[in-house]
Structure 1
């Protein structure tokens, strides 16, 4: 019996009677073939800047809470190399990533593949490549115009928390608009200067169930984010994105009190 078969059986035993991740594979294959035919680009690993939300009182978190019972990830139906993970170097002085079981590592990796597949479809066609960041469940990298941009999708337990005040801060080139979502929810849609005044990032913040949700695209060193705040809002409004939020809210892929790594 090979290692892959043993791992899948162990995952099946762990996840009995628990729901699978949302199945986005047909979409991933269809869009992946189209985009790979248009541009075969490889994202280089490394340390990238991320949208800095400290000025807004927002927190990004990562790492799975080992105290929560987790469902296993289903086998991927799309090619395993479709969204090859980026190996990002940790920021000096950061705590090493938490050690996870093989089953939990596989579940988190599969969740990132599902997110990557959906973003591949929903982001503008100018985005020609998207990759998850290995061992950083909230981290992704996209390519547009030959440049690489960091993406964060943070879905963390935050029972009882409320959205911060939506404020425009002209001195920091920050604008905020409110938007209504299905289910009576509200989103805050931000454009904000990151790294330098002339490079803008996009961010949407909302809540789902007992979780805080943040989706952002940061600029590169020389260019603003290739995704506008309104385009990010369109992603958040998609029913399939809501399915991912529902899963991560019920079976968290992040821990409440751990900072995002690699930013």
Structure 2
């Protein structure tokens, strides 16, 4: 039995025992929507780029798991929208993946499937493929123009944590704009040089409920991120993205203070 079959069976068991996450999968299969060309995604050993959170010096609060009961799982039946995960070998000294139960692993994998489906719908048409990174709930990979780029969506418990000061730093090619979101929330929208001065990345940082939220796209292979800060903000503004945040805030997929792999 291959890994994909085992994972799907675990997803089925989890979904049967628990109430579902709001079904966002139809965004990827709805009739009449445009279809993206599915590029073959090849990921060699190592990780791509430098996590933009680390580049900006964003801190992660120490703390323990909030101890929530095993939460609801997203729907299990989405074969036409399944995004095959990729595996990325950690670099020496990198924090290894967190060990979790089979049920919790399946819940996180299903959450990543929901995120992948929504990103596939909302990112620019130049993005040909979206895939989750196996065993890394905050990690994704997209392809554009034949190049693979790293994406992070981190939703972690951080009650009491505040957004850092939003500053433009011309010497580091960093821009920051504060924008208003629905519900009286504020987001910080960043464009910045990552890895080298000529390659730019995009990031949006905000708060939701008791959680800190970070969505970023980094450069790769000498190419700037194929998603602009404004395009990333459009993803964050979408009500379906807010639905995912509502779920992850109520039923965390990351522990409080958990590091984002690669950062």
Asked whether the two chains share a fold, i.e. TM above 0.5, the reply is yes
CA RMSD of aligned residues (A): 2.6
Question: What does residue 253 of structure 1 align with?
Answer: 253
Distance 1:146 1:170 in 2: 31
Q: How many pairs does the alignment contain?
A: 255
Distance 2:91 2:68 in 1: 28
- What aligned pairs does 1:153-232 form with structure 2 within 5 A after superposition? 153-232=153-232
Q: Report the TM-score, using the length of structure 2 for normalisation.
A: 0.88
Distance 1:169 1:122 in 2: 29
* Larger mean Cα displacement after TM superposition, 43-52 or 129-138: 43-52
Question: What does residue 150 of structure 1 align with?
Answer: 150
Distance 1:5 1:43 in 2: 25
Distance 1:254 1:22 in 2: 19
Distance 1:81 1:240 in 2: 16
- What aligned pairs does 1:1-263 form with structure 2 within 5 A after superposition? 8-9=12-13, 12-13=16-17, 15=18, 19-30=19-30, 34-36=34-36, 38-46=37-45, 47-59=47-59, 65=65, 67-79=67-79, 82-262=82-262
What SS class does the counterpart of residue 216 from structure 2 fall into? strand
Equivalent pair of 2:50/2:218 in contact (CA under 8 Å): yes
Structure 2 portions without partners, runs of 5+: none
Distance 1:223 1:104 in 2: 36
Note closer, same or farther for the CA distance 1:92–1:123 as it changes in structure 2 (3 Å cut).
Answer: same
Equivalent pair of 1:22/1:243 in contact (CA under 8 Å): yes
Equivalent pair of 2:178/2:189 in contact (CA under 8 Å): yes
Equivalent pair of 2:55/2:194 in contact (CA under 8 Å): no
What SS class does the counterpart of residue 53 from structure 1 fall into? helix
Equivalent pair of 2:11/2:110 in contact (CA under 8 Å): no
Q: 1:132 offset after TM fit, Å?
A: 0.3
Note closer, same or farther for the CA distance 1:241–1:163 as it changes in structure 2 (3 Å cut).
Answer: same
Equivalent pair of 2:11/2:76 in contact (CA under 8 Å): no
Q: 1:31 offset after TM fit, Å?
A: 8.2
Distance 1:24 1:161 in 2: 29
Distance 1:32 1:254 in 2: 35
Q: 1:54 offset after TM fit, Å?
A: 3.3
Structure 1 portions without partners, runs of 5+: none
Equivalent pair of 1:127/1:142 in contact (CA under 8 Å): yes
Distance 2:161 2:180 in 1: 18
Note closer, same or farther for the CA distance 1:31–1:65 as it changes in structure 2 (3 Å cut).
Answer: farther
Q: 1:73 offset after TM fit, Å?
A: 2.1
Equivalent pair of 1:35/1:128 in contact (CA under 8 Å): no
Q: Report the TM-score, using the length of structure 1 for normalisation.
A: 0.88
